Structure 1
Amino acid sequence: MTTLSADAPATPRPAALRRDKRRWTGWAFVAPFLVVFALVLVAPVIYAIYLSLFKEQLIGGNAFVGISNYTQALSDPKFWDSLGRVALFLCVQVPIMLGLALFAALAIDSARLYLSSFFRISIFLPYAVPAVVATLMWGFMYGNRFGLVGNVNDFFGIQLPDPLSNNWVLLSIGNIVTWEFVGYNMLIFYAALRVISTDLYEAAELDGASQWRIIRSIKLPAIRGAIVIAGIFSVIGSFQLFNEPNILQSLAPNTISTFFTPNMYAYNLSFSGQQYNYSAAIAIIMGVVTAVIAYIVQNSGSRKEK
């Protein structure tokens, strides 16, 4: 009869083996995403931070300068002008866009709007139009010599304000972005409204609540999370503003400068000025600013839900 010594390793239990297998099976499913995430997001950010710590100099070549590029950016009036421009754009355009999207979602969800399916797809359709196409379309309509504005001026013998002038160009860009993304945000709000239990509506009607009371006390609190998500997406999109002004620059070169937005400034520094290190520093600063503002929006929404 053989006996096991005290030092002999214990045989793994089947339950422990199954748990270990499940753990590795989960990592196997997540691994493709982690690889793509690391290559597409993490690695470029690390490389951008690395570039921002160096500077190409006439003497010494590419030398380590620490935070010199960041201090230069924070004292650069062009950077602050572009940042203030997108901040103004954010404060004006985002509330208008989200307000229109919320109004459209509430109207479609009310079941009192005829042809609601038609309006839903019609409002969402501009989102399917590529940003380049949408900007070119609106840009040519804005033209006071060749576009719709010019045709109206000639037909009625009037002089409408030039949408591509210094005083109106930011509003014109806001109109394009709103036209593009109202449908996208409307769909977010509408999807959140559709999951509200109908029992709440029935109870409110039995209590004699008006439609406005139902919206204020049931619908809006129920979709607050969706409103926060849409707000975060809109904040990120505002600080990343690039396509619309960059395309309109060819139609209004005297109005839209190379530093109209921070992204345009970084792009032109990198590809036109060959200042890759300084451009990387501006990109990192804008990433931090965007993350902080998005966190504030998310934190504000979370506090209200409590």
Structure 2
Amino acid sequence: MTSRLAARRNRTAGVLLAPFSVLFVAVFVIPISYAGYQSLFRQQRSGLGLGPPRTVFAGLGNYARVFADNAFVGGVGRTVAFGLVQVPVMLGLALLLALLLDSRAVRFGRFFRLAYFLPFAIPGVIAAVLWSFLYVPGISPLVGAGAKAGVDLDFLSAHTILFSIGNIVTWSWTGYNMLILYTALQAIPRELFEAAQVDGCSGLRIAWHIKIPLLRPALTLTGVFSIIGSLQLFGEPMVLRPMTSAISNSYTPVMLSYQAAFGLNDYNFAAAIAVVLAVATFVLSYGFLRLSNRGSS
């Protein structure tokens, strides 16, 4: 009887996991495997280069080109710097908003939840276009107001462009992360808060000593999502690129891969960049999870 029950449970689990497994293989395993295969070849032309190219085996040659490319190294540095600043700021704002909405003193909670989440409903490209009207001199009311006050505001310079991009990403994704954290807060038993209030704890102490520690799994989840999103930075700088010379076509690793594939027709080099980014995403996400689990143990 026990073996039959275990077999039935295994079949049920297999049926429930089958759709996810199919989608995972179709949209994740197969594309990365194909990119890995393409990254092992290169196009070679003979003679004067006028004839059709031949596909030859390159081994790890494309990966050597990736790590020797100064544009790739510079793009990685910008992306890492972007994530080190933007991710903590965004998650800190999301946590603060979630705690405020979970407070009993808040009024019109449904309205503010919708208002905070609304920027996420706007596609990232559209959000970048909207914010560009506040960045471009001549049409930006912020730049115009600064000029009248004697302050030179340049949101598109080489020194400020990364912060301008971070502002767009933070505006777009804070509400999404806030909703995840707020949902996790709603799952915490209210009896814990009532018991703490009986013991004389203030709302601030309840938030610091009870709510935030219990939000660790949700914070870890949003942290992993944010790390992955930072490594995939593409849409916002692509929209702002025609408006400033501070953004090149290789400003981020994803932009470099896009330029190699569709600008230079070097699909094998682009595939190598994609594989390196996929491995880096896995390593950083796994490392962040290990550090989070070690801190909670």
Give the TM-score taking structure 1 as reference length: 0.89
- Equivalent of 1:183 in 167, 175, 186: 175
- 1:23 Cα offset (Å): 4.8
Structure 1 residues 242 and 200, CA gap change in structure 2 (3 angstroms): same
Q: Name the counterpart of 2:24.
A: 37
Unpaired runs of at least 5, structure 2: 47-52
Are 2:143 and 2:154, in contact at CA under 8 Å, matched by a contact in 1?
no
Q: Name the counterpart of 1:55.
A: 42
**Secondary structure at 1:44's aligned position in 2?**
helix
- 1:25 Cα offset (Å): 5.6
Matches within 5 A, 1:194-205: 194-205=186-197
Are 2:119 and 2:175, in contact at CA under 8 Å, matched by a contact in 1?
yes
Q: Name the counterpart of 1:10.
A: none
**Secondary structure at 1:55's aligned position in 2?**
strand
Q: Name the counterpart of 1:222.
A: 214
Look up the equivalent residue of 2:24 and give its one-letter code: F
Q: Name the counterpart of 1:279.
A: 270
Q: Name the counterpart of 1:106.
A: 99
Q: Deviations over 1:154-186 (max 9, x none)?
A: 6x2634321111111110000000000010010
Look up the equivalent residue of 2:88 and give its one-letter code: P
Look up the equivalent residue of 1:43 and give its one-letter code: I
- 1:202 Cα offset (Å): 1.5
**Secondary structure at 2:211's aligned position in 1?**
helix
| In structure 2, C-alpha distance between the alignment counterparts of 1:19 and 1:263, rounded to whole Å | 46
Q: Name the counterpart of 2:166.
A: 174
- Equivalent of 1:243 in 204, 225, 235: 235
Are 2:249 and 2:256, in contact at CA under 8 Å, matched by a contact in 1?
yes
Q: Name the counterpart of 2:140.
A: 147
| In structure 1, C-alpha distance between the alignment counterparts of 2:274 and 2:151, rounded to whole Å | 41
The more displaced of 192-201 and 159-168 is 159-168
**Secondary structure at 2:55's aligned position in 1?**
strand
Q: Name the counterpart of 2:50.
A: none
Look up the equivalent residue of 1:286 and give its one-letter code: L
Structure 1 residues 223 and 20, CA gap change in structure 2 (3 angstroms): closer
Query: What's the C-alpha RMSD, in Å, of the aligned pairs?
Result: 2.0
| In structure 1, C-alpha distance between the alignment counterparts of 2:230 and 2:54, rounded to whole Å | 36
| In structure 2, C-alpha distance between the alignment counterparts of 1:26 and 1:202, rounded to whole Å | 39
- 1:16 Cα offset (Å): 7.2
Q: Deviations over 1:18-61 (max 9, x none)?
A: 87676556544443333332222111111100011111112372
The more displaced of 229-238 and 26-35 is 26-35
1:81 aligns with 2:68: no
Unpaired runs of at least 5, structure 1: 1-13
Q: Percent identity?
A: 41
Aligned residues: 291
Structure 1 residues 15 and 294, CA gap change in structure 2 (3 angstroms): closer
Are 1:149 and 1:160, in contact at CA under 8 Å, matched by a contact in 2?
no
When Rg is computed on C-alpha atoms for both structures, the one with the higher figure is 1
Look up the equivalent residue of 1:202 and give its one-letter code: E
Q: Name the counterpart of 2:279.
A: 288
Look up the equivalent residue of 2:263 and give its one-letter code: S
| In structure 2, C-alpha distance between the alignment counterparts of 1:125 and 1:250, rounded to whole Å | 27
1:262 aligns with 2:253: yes
Are 2:234 and 2:254, in contact at CA under 8 Å, matched by a contact in 1?
yes
**Secondary structure at 1:63's aligned position in 2?**
strand
- 1:241 Cα offset (Å): 0.3
| In structure 2, C-alpha distance between the alignment counterparts of 1:25 and 1:210, rounded to whole Å | 47
| In structure 1, C-alpha distance between the alignment counterparts of 2:9 and 2:88, rounded to whole Å | 46
Q: Name the counterpart of 1:136.
A: 129
1:304 aligns with 2:276: no
1:118 aligns with 2:111: yes
| In structure 2, C-alpha distance between the alignment counterparts of 1:149 and 1:213, rounded to whole Å | 39
Give the TM-score taking structure 2 as reference length: 0.92
Are 2:38 and 2:268, in contact at CA under 8 Å, matched by a contact in 1?
yes
